[in-house]
């Protein structure tokens, strides 16, 4: 099948709509500027772009992949701002260098990679992979396997469900309203906060080198909690039995001890470990707002 190609230069604006087959995937590459993808009810993709006269927006349908990229009469394109409307169930692969990327309303797998840019994603199902180097990442209402990685900024996730992995080097990690049996969150210089479910048999690991870890413990949680801190304290809002515990590393159980108890590991080198009731976390969130 011959590829359908739309190559348009309309001064400083491109606006074109392409009908896509069921199961099609969107692949967008934008070296500089922004990518905004919004779900709509149509069975087509509308690409709107603001760009300079010397730059061209190329929209190519190759089988089941719709590719959107920028070309230029110069050596490299300058900033291009995309607003793209897609079917909600269309898988997305979005990438850039100096690029902010936003996704709103996706109900399919989402892959985002940028170097210098913020990432915001509302929705996503299946594999939701969000990566940046210098940029904050925020995700809401995603479900499936959620992978979030940045280096020099913060991570936040809320109202998400599934297997979650979040990591940064210089930044905080905040996970709220999470439904998961498998969570890993790690930073080097930053704080970690978790307020979500603890599932029987689940595995949860939270670590930072320089910062506090705040963990909400549901009232009926059934878990073994292992705590490690070198220069810090354990601060719990409820009684914890630490009889015979080592000063820096110890474990204790909550709920009904059984083989299906969740395993929770919390580690920090320079920082406190704070165990809180969920209601206290809700009050803190409302106060911050």
Q: What is the pLDDT of residues 97-121, one digit of tens each?
A: 999 999 999 999 999 999 999 999 9
Give me the pLDDT at residue 134, please.
96
Give me the pLDDT at residue 282, please.
64
Contact 67, 84 (CB under 8 A): no
Does 258 have pLDDT greater than 70? Answer: no
Give me the pLDDT at residue 244, please.
55
**Looking only at Cα atoms, what is the longest distance across the chain?**
74
What's the average model confidence in pLDDT over 274-289? 70
What's the average model confidence in pLDDT over 82-97? 97
Contact 154, 171 (CB under 8 A): yes
pLDDT over 90, % of the chain = 70
Residue 103's Cβ-side half-sphere holds a number of Cα atoms within 13 Å equal to 35
Does 284 have pLDDT greater than 80? Answer: no
CA angle 207–147–47, rounded 5-degree value? 145
- What confidence tier does 278 reach under pLDDT thresholds 50, 70, 90? confident
Classify residue 95 by its DSSP letter.
E
Q: How far is CA 145 from each of CA 130, 160, 163, rounded to the nearest angstrom?
A: 11, 10, 5
Give me the pLDDT at residue 281, please.
76
Q: What is the pLDDT of residues 10-56, one digit of tens each?
A: 447 889 999 999 999 999 999 999 999 999 999 999 999 998 777 78
Question: Cβ neighbours of residue 100 under 8 Å, at least 6 residues apart?
Answer: 33, 34, 35, 114, 117, 118, 119, 135
- What confidence tier does 254 reach under pLDDT thresholds 50, 70, 90? confident
Q: What is the pLDDT of residues 159-216, one digit of tens each?
A: 999 999 999 999 999 999 999 999 999 999 999 999 999 999 999 999 999 999 999 9
- What confidence tier does 7 reach under pLDDT thresholds 50, 70, 90? very low
Give me the pLDDT at residue 52, please.
79
Give me the pLDDT at residue 2, please.
41
Q: Position of tokens 């930044």?
A: 171
Q: Computed over its alpha carbons, how large is the radius of gyration of the chain?
A: 22
Does 1 have pLDDT greater than 80? Answer: no
Q: Which residues of 250-277 are buried (b: 16+ CB within 10 A; e: fewer)?
A: bebebbeeeeebbebbbbbbebbbbbbe
**Assigned token pair, 85:** 């409307």
Mean pLDDT of the chain: 89
pLDDT over 70, % of the chain = 88
What's the average model confidence in pLDDT over 285-289? 50
- How many angstroms separate the CA atoms of 113 and 197, rounded? 29
Contact 129, 111 (CB under 8 A): yes
Look at residue 78 and give its three-state secondary structure.
coil
Contact 168, 153 (CB under 8 A): yes
Contact 174, 213 (CB under 8 A): no
Q: pTM value?
A: 0.90
- How many angstroms separate the CA atoms of 158 and 19, rounded? 33
Which of 223, 162, 232 lies closest to 192 in space, CA to CA? 232
Higher pLDDT, 268 or 284: 268
Question: Cβ neighbours of residue 185 under 8 Å, at least 6 residues apart?
Answer: 155, 164, 165, 166, 167, 173, 175, 192, 194, 205, 206, 207
């Amino acid at each position: 099948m011959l590829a359908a190609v739309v190559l348009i230069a309309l001064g400083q604006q491109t606006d074109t709509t392409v009908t896509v087959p069921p199961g099609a995937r969107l692949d967008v590459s934008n070296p500089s500027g922004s990518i905004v993808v919004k779900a709509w009810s149509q069975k087509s993709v509308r690409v709107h772009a603001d760009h300079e006269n010397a730059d061209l927006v190329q929209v190519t349908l190759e089988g089941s992949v719709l590719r959107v990229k920028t070309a230029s009469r110069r050596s490299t394109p300058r900033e291009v701002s995309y607003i793209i409307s897609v079917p909600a169930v269309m898988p997305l692969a979005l990438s850039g260098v100096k690029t902010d990327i936003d996704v709103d309303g996706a109900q399919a797998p989402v892959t985002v990679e940028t170097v210098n840019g913020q990432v915001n994603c509302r929705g996503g199902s299946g594999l939701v992979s969000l990566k940046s180097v210098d940029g904050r990442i925020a995700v809401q209402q995603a479900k499936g396997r959620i992978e979030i990685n940045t280096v020099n900024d913060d991570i936040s996730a809320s109202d998400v469900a599934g297997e979650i992995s979040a990591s940064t080097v210089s930044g905080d990690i905040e996970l709220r309203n999470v439904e998961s049996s498998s969570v890993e969150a790690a930073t080097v210089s930053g704080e970690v906060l978790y307020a979500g479910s603890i599932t029987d048999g689940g595995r949860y690991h939270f670590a930072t080198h320089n910062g506090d870890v705040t963990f909400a413990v549901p009232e009926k949680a059934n878990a073994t909690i292992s705590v490690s801190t070198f220069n810090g304290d354990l601060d719990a809002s409820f009684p914890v039995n630490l009889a015979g515990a080592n000063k820096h590393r110890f474990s204790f159980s909550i709920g009904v001890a059984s083989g299906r108890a969740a395993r929770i590991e919390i580690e920090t080198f320079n920082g406190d470990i704070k165990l809180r009731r969920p209601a206290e976390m809700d009050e803190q969130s409302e106060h911050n707002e």
